[in-house]
Structure 1
Amino acid sequence: MALKVKAQEKLQKIGKYEGTYRYIMMPELYTSLSQEKVIQEAALRSGVSKGVMQVCWDAAGEVIKAWATEGHSVALPGLGTMRFGLRAKSVEKVDEVKTGLISSRRIIFTPAVDLKQALAGTTIQITCYDRDGNEVKRVTSTDPGTVEDNENPENENGSTNEPTNAGQGGNTGGNGGGGGEPNPDGSTED
């Protein structure tokens, strides 16, 4: 099993490298698996019928949504936990507290240790393409497999993780954007 990444040579139009060509890494396009396909595979692996698995899937989704909207951190089997949070500005006086201080609501996913270990151990295969789209090189990862932890921006050895373009989708939690110090409930103060 390997994650496939492409490094495409592209002209930089803004920023520090404006006017130069640089290799930019991004994930290869993955297909999105439908809910039906996931349910079918789960039914096959568990030995229960597809109908029973569908009912269980729907019920679990409703329970997770209900409990998360009540403020609970909810376990996602084999994956980690999910909870809701927000970003908000801090104020000095209690009479200044108002809902207008909230800048965004967030879904925060905290991966399980086993999931992080699986990602850390997954090989990354990079295919490099020049500006004309020709393949020029293939590279297989030899990196230490460090997994970014959005809940704790410093990894175990104390160095700060730097995000890259490879594999970044939307920020689902952590300290990305908005600045400020995170609070245990997922809110951030400026």
Structure 2
Amino acid sequence: DPTQLFLCQFEAVRKLLGNDQRAHLLPLGIEQLPALNAFDTVFSMGVLYHRRSPLDHLWQLKDQLVPGGELVLETLVVEGDENTVLVPGDRYAQMRNVYFIPSAAALKQWLEKCGFIDVRIVDACVTSTEEQRRTEWMTTESLADFLDPQDSSKTREGYPAPLRAVLIATKPETEQSLAAKKRADKQPG
């Protein structure tokens, strides 16, 4: 999250670890970045369902990758086929800012529509109350408080309980990137 709180946390951890300057945090959202085409791997974890335009978000992620780069996308999904997308009303699991929750199959299709290749669903599982729970550091409400007390397979709003999926996708190589790799392979030593 591009907030001062997360920047302060990052800097505190950096200081505890010896003030290593090899990693930096820029408090910017992806929508504020130009198309850098600079990263071998981009992670988007728990963000997609908070976006009003999920396809635009996928395009923004793709624009950050080098040709041949890899996207690791973790997000909420629902069960269903490639045409299944949940559009919750006012809230989903007590969150107000959830706009679209696709099935894993629909998300795979979205990634392919955005031009990604080799799209794989590498994990899909129920979000457990053991994973997301109150702790001595996080004492506010947690997943158990957001599920139907009579039926934990549903949220308090009556929607399916959270499922999480991880998909990995590749940005295709371009003729230019393939030519550059070929030249680099011919370099001695």
- TM (norm. structure 2) is 0.21
Higher helix share: 2
- Whose radius of gyration is greater, 1 or 2? 1
TM-score by length of 1: 0.21
